[in-house]
Amino acid sequence: MTSHSSVIAKLEEKHSKQSISVVDRFPLLNFVSDNVMLGSFSWYWMTERKKEVLRPFALNFGNVLTTPAELARTYLQLKYPRQRATKEQVTYFKCPHFSPLYAKPHNFESACYIDIRSAYWQILQIVGWDVDYCPLRWLGKGQPMDDFCYADIKLARNCLVTAGLPTEASFWSGSVQEFKRMSTYNSTSNLGIWALCQDVLHGVAWDAIRAGAVYAHTDGYICDAQNSRKVIDAISEWGLEARIKKAGEAVVRGVGSYSFGNQSTNTPKQVHGYSNLILSDKHSWLKRKIRFFSERTNFVWQSNFQTNNQ
């Protein structure tokens, strides 16, 4: 059991060597003379040993000020100290794996936007972060993740998956006013869970489109209202729970470009069909495996642990 207190204790040890503050915005780099590691949620001044965290992402736990990404990485470091894989698995994991995207422009008098409820978290609950995955050969369930006490923080949940990807950090060298990117060591490396998640999402997207969806983006789908039950059932066949998030008159223009009623995405409104979907020979095999483990899993949607955002 990886407890909140053990995560906080590890963070306290790490933070004892640096100062941390919350800011509303980061400074302009041309006014920065220190060497700085640039992150999405925080920046770290390497000489001064100080970290600045953007206010929307700052989480305050008494003496510890942290971010969703840092919570996820620290939990993984404690619970899964080492991941192993065969040569065959590593070869597959290192192949490019990307989220499914599909758009067939269409106007609807009545449409539904359906998504997989907390898709990454559902998959993690079903198979575990340390899942043993070898396509068409085996899918071994890892340790349960019901001890992740930050399940009510959406960014922290999602970071559990992305934390396993190879890391490349952005650095600003203030002395020479130069920006560069460098590969860094990732102690929570796990390409397997990322590959599995994308394989599942591509499979679900294919089934959703066969059921009548004309739009798929990662874990969200748009279809005619008359086909909504078919799309939800197609998702359910994977052992995943779906829900209707929007309903009404809709227009699909392209990937990331659609509108429901008076609400529209901020992307360009050019009409453009697109598909990057992959239908692999492991589709049916993977669906059976995921559904098998799902039927034997008790989901933990949200923790009872309450956080206070600073």
pLDDT tens for 21-36 read 999 999 999 889 999 9
Block residue for tokens 């223009």: 253
CB 47 within 8 A of CB 35: yes
- Amino acid in the structure at residue 310: Q
Determine whether 232 is exposed, middle or buried from the number of CB atoms within 10 Å of its CB (0-12, 13-18, 19+).
Answer: buried
At 255-285, the pLDDT tens digits run 999 999 989 997 777 799 999 999 889 999 9
Q: What is the pLDDT of residue 167?
A: 81
Q: How far apart are CA 204 and CA 34, in angstroms?
A: 47
Q: What is the pLDDT of residue 62?
A: 86
Block residue for tokens 């390409």: 191
Q: What is the pLDDT of residue 309?
A: 38
Q: What is the pLDDT of residue 310?
A: 35
- Tell me which residues of the chain have a pLDDT lower than 70: 300-310
Single out the residue of 65, 85, 71, 138 nearest to residue 293, CA to CA: 138
Q: What is the pLDDT of residue 301?
A: 60
Q: What is the pLDDT of residue 302?
A: 53
DSSP class of residue 174?
T
- Which residues lie closer than 8 Å to 154 by C-beta, 6 or more apart? 118
